[in-house]
Structure 1
Amino acid sequence: MNNDQATTAELAALRAAFDLDDGGESALGWTAVHAFEAEQGIVLPEPYRTFVAELTDGSYSGPPEYGLVSLAELPEDWGDDGQGRDLSRPFPLTEAWLWEDDPRPAEEIDPVVERVFDHGSVVLGTDGCGMNWHLVVTGPHRGHIWHITGEGAVPFGAEFGSTTSAPGFAGWVGHWAAQKEWFDAE
């Protein structure tokens, strides 16, 4: 997984996975991507960065269940206006965490859970009912995809044990395009 440069093969696979028949009109363009990155204090990981700049900024033809949301948007079921989000602050997790079963007191857990939702990731979209897919943009897991729900969070990619697919945006899209179950290694 290379977060700094998209490969020709990755971009071709992304084009093939999505219904991109608008000639790139739905893409943000590099000026808008650079402006978003400057405003947020981040650099988006590749190949997602090139994807939103050159291919499309959101799509109903791809993952997740309710489609890929635009870069600056949140899913309709997000629950608040996203005012507490800070993409420049590191995403706080490096391993799966089911906070619903964590025995520690809520006063200890809740602040960390808030950071999981609001720090260091862009929301790619939702499978409904608050089950959202995030792309980590800052921190040790930069470039990885995480599935975050009201009960917990789990990273996506074979190295984490819940799926057989490659990590990162290209691996996540490829997994969906192959019509595999999201957590096919369980």
Structure 2
Amino acid sequence: MGSWDEGGVRARIRELAARDPERSRFGADTHRYELSPALPEVEVGAFEEAHGVDLPTEYRSFVTEVGDGPAGPGHGLMPLTVPRRPETGEEWAVDDEWEEDRLPGRLAEPFPLAEPLPGRIGASAGELTRGTLMLAEEGCGSYVRLILNGPRKGEVWQIDPDWGGFVLVSPDFRTWYTEWLRRSS
């Protein structure tokens, strides 16, 4: 698969914004229903080379055909590259979790789980996220992550170290993102 309908995605986001002028839906006050421009293919290729990964096709095509966040599930889709607000160019969303993902070699490491790990995780959460890319923050230490390698490559998992464990939430990025577009009506 791979190709996205950029115009359709952007139209749906505009529709969601028009229906939520107060930004009362969860996360809307953070992502503001804004979608940054798509990234040039060369920039995404440079990211992959620098980190020793091949991004899953559905996610890669989204950032090269549609946009690099933030409108999306949770508090918004985390940008692949330096996060900047589309209208102002100001940096946003850079936190310890985002920066930790970009440490040399971290994304290329093997994803350590073969099966979901439900329940309380505690202190080992950092080790469990190797080989994954943060897609969105859900709040209170809960994150949605994209598996980058191994048999579960391309799946979207949620990690909630205190209560929910590390569990599968979607078979792929396209399903995860389009479900947000649909359910946010």
% identical equivalent positions: 31
Which letter maps to 2:68?
D
Pick from 67, 75, 80 the counterpart of residue 76 of structure 2: 67
Question: How far apart in 1 are the matches of 2:104 and 2:52?
Answer: 15
Indicate yes or no: 2:179 matched with 1:175: yes
When normalised by structure 1's length, the TM-score is: 0.68
Partner of 1:28: 39
* Secondary structure, aligned partner of 1:127: strand
Instruction: List gaps (5 residues or longer) in structure 2.
Output: 15-34, 84-92
For 2:137, the equivalent position in structure 1 comes to: 126
Aligned residues of 1:121 and 1:136 also touching (Cα < 8 A) = yes
| Matches for 1:22-171 after TM superposition, within 5 Å | 26-59=37-70, 61-64=71-74, 66-72=75-81, 75=93, 78=96, 81-82=99-100, 83=103, 86-98=106-118, 100=120, 110=124, 113-117=125-129, 119-151=130-162, 152-157=165-170, 167-171=171-175
| Residues 17 and 96 of structure 1, relative CA distance in 2, 3 Å threshold | farther
Quote the offset at 1:35 in angstroms. Answer: 0.1
What amino acid maps onto 1:63 in structure 2?
Answer: P
Q: Distance in 2 between matches of 1:68 and 1:169?
A: 11
Deviation at 1:25, TM superposition (A): 6.3
Do the aligned partners of 1:147 and 1:156 also contact (CA within 8 Å) in 2? yes
Q: 1:132–1:148: 8 Å Cα contact kept in structure 2?
A: yes
Distance 1:17 1:133 in 2: 22
Paired residues of 1:58 and 1:70 also in contact (CA < 8 A):
yes
Q: Secondary structure at the match of 1:178?
A: helix
Alpha-carbon distance in structure 1 between the residues aligned to 2:143 and 2:44: 22
Q: Please say if residues 26 and 55 of structure 1, whose CA atoms lie closer than 8 Å, have aligned partners that are also in contact.
A: yes
Q: 1:46/1:58 Cα in 2 relative to 1: closer, same or farther (>3 Å)?
A: same
Taking the aligned partners of 2:166 and 2:178, their CA distance within structure 1 comes to: 21
